[in-house]
Amino acid sequence: MKVPFHQFNPKKFSFRKDPVLVLDNFWTEREMEIFREAMTHSTWTGLRDMPAVSKAFPDSGNWLKAEIGPRERQLFLDKMSLPCIAEYVESFPNIRQRHVNFNYYTYGAGDCLPTHDDTDEAYAADRDRPPPLRRLALATYVHSEWNTDWGGELIIYHARKDPRGNRVLDVAQCIAPEPGSLALFAVPRFHRVCRVDALAGEHKRLSIAGWFMTEHDA
């Protein structure tokens, strides 16, 4: 489903029936300004300085990642308190704990994220116990402008088998990183971020991305 936020009814929507949700104009201009201002004071880590992640995602440029501060994190979580999110996360049995993990990201010209389904934990930092299970993935965009020629689209695939049993990925959605928009989708689901084109110049694709997760008894 793709719909303007002001027309969206979060009590009627179900990720069980429609696993991909795109909301246009989710953030106000002021809210996006708050996030962008916070990003200017954030401590950023480049992909090249994250060896395990860069090994899992080679040839992906050098996009940057930063933690969200307490004030902005609360603003973010307050706006994410949608009934459809809670209903989906709570639909899984025997939940022991619930987790969220969201960060700032900035993609410049040449940066991308190859195809994956968010279930590969080969680069997870915590190896002492199984990591929480990712249930809903999220990406939302807070840059002030984005031209369609600049790339950086979120591509979501539909997976199927060919007659020989090989996996085939068909493009299901091509989601442009429109300012203020929000994309949510159920995990696992193959997806990628297209490379930001050189035509973007110095413009950066500014986003908040991560997951709603659940932890279960072993």
pLDDT above 60 (res 126): no
The pTM of the full predicted model, rounded to 2 decimals, is 0.94
pLDDT above 80 (res 129): no
d(CA 66, CA 61): 16
Please tell me the predicted confidence (pLDDT) of residue 217.
Answer: 79
Across residues 141-170, what is the average pLDDT? 98
Where does 2-216 sit in CATH, by number?
2.60.120.620
Residue 51, both tokens = 């060896």
Task: Quick: pLDDT tens for 162-191.
Answer: 999 999 999 999 999 999 999 999 999 999
What pLDDT band is residue 131 in, cutting at 50, 70 and 90? confident
Contact call for residues 147 and 198 (beta carbons, < 8 A): no
Domain boundaries, the chain: 2-216
Burial of 79 (0-12, 13-18, 19+ CB in 10 A): middle
Q: Give the least confident one: 26-40, 82-96, 128-142.
A: 128-142
Backbone angles phi, psi at 76, to 5 degrees: -65, -50
Kindly give the pairing relationship between strand 20-24 and strand 182-186: antiparallel
Please tell me the predicted confidence (pLDDT) of residue 124.
Answer: 56
Across residues 191-217, what is the average pLDDT? 97
